[in-house]
Amino acid sequence: MGDIVKKCNKCGRFCVCSDDDYLVDGYKGCDGLMVDTGIRFDDYLIISKISDDDNFLQAMIDLKEKDPIEYQLKMSQFKTQVQQQKNNKAQSSNTVKCPKCGSTNITAGQRGYSLLTGFIGSGSTVNRCSKCGHKWKP
């Protein structure tokens, strides 16, 4: 997106809006003048994932005005950090966890012999938690 984040010079609220449209996220502006910050919407999304503090956003706006090279370096670092967070979240969602205790130390193996059922079902695979011993079907 090529939209620019704007800031109200009256109340200080940030928004992403087209030239004459100040309605963003259900918020109607306070009729102050919306001033371009110079921050693109995609950069704003990255910055907002790092911090939701308006002072941090303002510091990034100031940095872009004073030192655009340093701003680009910071944005590159932030993009890498956000990507790593996404990768970690995806990796943790694919990790098998014990439904009883939440441990990730899981082994899979054959069900085994039982005195009650004998060899019936002994060939089926079960997950076992190494921490609490809970068994469940994969």
Q: Where are the domains of the chain?
A: 4-93, 106-136
pLDDT tens-digit readout, 15-56: 776 544 544 443 455 677 878 888 998 999 999 999 989 899
Element (H, E) at 36: strand 34-40
Strand pairing class (106-110; 125-129) = antiparallel
pLDDT at 107: 85
pLDDT tens-digit readout, 61-103: 999 999 999 999 999 999 999 999 988 888 777 778 888 898 8
Among residues 98, 100, 82, 102, which one has the least CA distance to residue 90?
A: 82
pLDDT tens-digit readout, 92-131: 777 788 888 988 888 887 765 655 655 555 567 888 888 9
